[in-house]
Structure 1
Amino acid sequence: MVLRAIGAPLVWEARPAPVPGPGEILVAVEACAVCRTDLHVVDGELPNGRLPIVPGHEIVGRVVARGPGVASPAPGTRVGIPWLGHACGHCPYCAEGRENLCDAPEFTGFTRDGGFATHVVADAAFAFPLAGFEDPVAAAPLMCAGLIGWRSLRRAGEGRRIGLYGFGAAAHLLAQVLVWQGREVYAFTRAGDAGARALALRLGAVWAGGSEERPPELLDAAILFAPVGALVPLALRALRKGGRVVCGGIHMSDIPSFPYEILWEEREILSVANLTRADAVEFLDLAPRAGIRAETSVYPLRRANEALDDLRRGRFQGAAVLVP
């Protein structure tokens, strides 16, 4: 399913199977989750993308061929392919172990073809073996919603009371991590979204309410997954002194002005950019131990446009997953 023009529907195309080059693998896609970032790609809200492009960066599949110089993973191995598709390895950020900030990165489904397809070519060094993950549909959302949630939590710190603004794919996975860790989850949803609130409470949240409501306790940290800048001042008002607001999305509407007094007392606003391979190794080790399970709605690959529209309009809980 190919994006040929910004804002246009994806188009079904038949292409020859891609051939992996040096350092690459060819993967037969079993499942690819649909991320809000895919909407940002379709809507042209991210700079420096490529057209035409096959979107999709929450990919699970089996290795079917290896390019020159690739010793592993072996054919038949189930792997996960995330948003960060390649890092240069030699810029100052890569040298510091911060490859998520690489000066010359490639991104799956944005600058290199992604997983809204039957096959995808990936950098072997940025594909993660998924031994023990028996259900590709359930595993697919872990490759971005799970990983970005995990990185956002690491940025948020060790506080006990954590607010999650926007209770979609990432938040419903992260809530399970927080409950497993013994922390308290406060879920903030769109007004009237009873389904999201019910899901949050079922997953162990101690409170669920609207984004403009004040929680019953001041928060140690708030993580924003909804791409709505107006939530930043609201989250600041819900924080204790020294608390943090973490913006977990790759794109957000403008943050409105707000009084300095709600930032004062050493509150902080932080952003999250992409992920590192170390994040993936940590989270994919933790997820089975914590019993993380994605809530999914499955769509055939040809219905990718429908899945994107349903995500935009909030018609399902959890994550949408495309299956070829």
Structure 2
Amino acid sequence: MIKAFAADTAKGELKPFEYEVGELGSQEVEIEVHYCGVCHSDISMLDNEWGMTQYPFVPGHEVAGLIKQVGAEVNHLKVGDRVGLGWQSGYCNHCENCMSGDHNLCGTAEMTIVGRHGGFADHVRAQASSVVKLPDDIHMADAGPLFCGGVTVYNPMKQFDLKPTAKVAVIGIGGLGHMALQFLNSWGCEVTAFTSTEEKRKEAIALGAHKTLNSRDEGELKGAAGSFDMIISTVNVSLNWEAYINTLKAKGRLHFVGAVLEPIQVGVFPLMMGQRSISASPVGSPSTISQMLEFTARHQIKPQVELFQKDQINDAINHVREGKARYRAVIQFKATSDNSA
């Protein structure tokens, strides 16, 4: 019996919920949840914004905890290992994408909170291939957000072979953007943050931005024409994308990791004449997550987290829903003796 927190309806309050689990699959592991981050995707699923939520709904896909059980065919993880689980919890492991190491692009990948119960619980199960060990230097309280928000902004850096000499800008200094600034700075890039307030400007500089641009000042945007090799957009709202495209260098790239639901309206000529690109990517594969964790530990990168206890779970949800998190809310589900850095 797994004890969890679930909502019965869209936008409903999370309440204690129990469900039975059968025998552990031969390729599965069971994780004792110590911490779980609250991602905006949890809110979108809770509210059924994407039209695919099944109730009762147990959110939670930024899990950090300990392995409690391993299936008979699992040999790379053992009971007691410190691990994390992100947005994806299983793959076919035989399609072209999986065989190429791009498990995150598997056409039949299982999502941790889509059609199954997530990590707002005392335990959660997943296919062992989707679970990644934590380096000793990463504390479990910091780990959860790395498995979704962290790898989401790290993934395009790897996929497009971003050079350390690149000039990169970030749109949206929030849950994803504040980690992107740290990654890019440690990568060696010249980092610019698009901000709209003095408070965010100071925070962006402290997080690793070398420069800031006022996103509400048309003059500043025009003055930055031809400046950036890449812009990473972490927001989920529509903006004047052509204004941002004009700040790209020739062969520059506007890359989306925030799920903008409205169609993107851009002209072809600004892209064509500068041979610029628009792209997007989801979370990363387990191998990319593992690489990201090593990079994070080496450079002592940490998401800024606000810790909530499990009896404050609805407070944490509302904190994120109202855009008050600075910058990631994390729920502690179990008292832990984790003494990692």
Same-fold call, TM > 0.5? yes
Out of 18, 21, 24, which is 2:25 matched to?
21
Instruction: Answer yes or no: is 1:175 the counterpart of 2:175.
Output: no
Count of matched residue positions in the alignment of Structure 1 and Structure 2: 321
Question: What CA distance in whole angstroms lies between the structure 2 residues aligned with 1:39 and 1:231?
Answer: 26
SS at match of 1:270: strand
Question: What's the offset of the Cα at 1:47?
Answer: 4.9
Contact 1:63 1:79 in 2 (8 A): yes
- Matched residue type, 2:303: A
Pair 1:105–1:30, CA change in 2 (3 A):
same
SS at match of 2:330: strand
Instruction: Answer yes or no: is 1:3 the counterpart of 2:17.
Output: no
Pair 1:8–1:202, CA change in 2 (3 A):
same
SS at match of 2:6: coil
Question: What's the offset of the Cα at 1:17?
Answer: 7.2
Pair 1:238–1:18, CA change in 2 (3 A):
farther
- Matched residue type, 2:208: G
**1:75 matched residue in structure 2:** 79
Pair 1:231–1:146, CA change in 2 (3 A):
farther
**2:169 matched residue in structure 1:** 163
Pair 1:152–1:301, CA change in 2 (3 A):
farther
Instruction: Answer yes or no: is 1:254 the counterpart of 2:254.
Output: no
Give runs of aligned pairs for residues 64-213 of structure 1, distance below 5 A: 64-155=68-159, 157-158=162-163, 160-189=166-195, 191-192=196-197, 194-213=198-217
**2:337 matched residue in structure 1:** none
- Matched residue type, 1:307: A
Pair 1:67–1:311, CA change in 2 (3 A):
same
Question: What CA distance in whole angstroms lies between the structure 1 residues aligned with 2:18 and 2:39?
Answer: 23
Question: What's the offset of the Cα at 1:174?
Answer: 2.1
Contact 1:146 1:174 in 2 (8 A): yes
- Matched residue type, 2:115: T
Question: What's the offset of the Cα at 1:292?
Answer: 0.6
Identity of aligned residues (%): 26
Question: What CA distance in whole angstroms lies between the structure 2 residues aligned with 1:160 and 1:259?
Answer: 25
Question: What CA distance in whole angstroms lies between the structure 2 residues aligned with 1:128 and 1:231?
Answer: 38
Question: What CA distance in whole angstroms lies between the structure 2 residues aligned with 1:305 and 1:220?
Answer: 41
Instruction: Answer yes or no: is 1:245 the counterpart of 2:254.
Output: yes
Question: What's the offset of the Cα at 1:108?
Answer: 1.0
SS at match of 2:15: coil
- Matched residue type, 2:271: L
Q: Can you give the 5+ residue segments of structure 1 that lack an aligned partner in the other structure?
A: none
Instruction: Answer yes or no: is 1:308 the counterpart of 2:317.
Output: yes
Instruction: Answer yes or no: is 1:290 the counterpart of 2:299.
Output: yes
Contact 1:18 1:26 in 2 (8 A): no
SS at match of 2:269: helix
Question: What's the offset of the Cα at 1:36?
Answer: 1.7
Pair 1:254–1:68, CA change in 2 (3 A):
same
Question: What's the offset of the Cα at 1:41?
Answer: 1.1
Question: What CA distance in whole angstroms lies between the structure 1 residues aligned with 2:242 and 2:46?
Answer: 28
SS at match of 1:12: strand
SS at match of 1:229: coil
Question: What CA distance in whole angstroms lies between the structure 1 residues aligned with 2:137 and 2:176?
Answer: 18
Pair 1:306–1:139, CA change in 2 (3 A):
same
Q: Can you give the 5+ residue segments of structure 2 that lack an aligned partner in the other structure?
A: 334-341
Question: What's the offset of the Cα at 1:68?
Answer: 3.0
Question: What's the offset of the Cα at 1:256?
Answer: 4.6
Pair 1:308–1:188, CA change in 2 (3 A):
farther
Contact 1:245 1:270 in 2 (8 A): yes
SS at match of 1:196: helix
Instruction: Answer yes or no: is 1:55 the counterpart of 2:55.
Output: no
SS at match of 2:17: coil
Spell out, residue by residue over 1:243-263, the C-alpha distance to the aligned partner (whole angstroms, 9 max, x if none): 1011013x3131453333332
TM-score (norm 2): 0.86
Question: What CA distance in whole angstroms lies between the structure 1 residues aligned with 2:244 and 2:299?
Answer: 27
Question: What CA distance in whole angstroms lies between the structure 2 residues aligned with 1:108 and 1:211?
Answer: 35
Question: What's the offset of the Cα at 1:14?
Answer: 4.0
**1:31 matched residue in structure 2:** 35
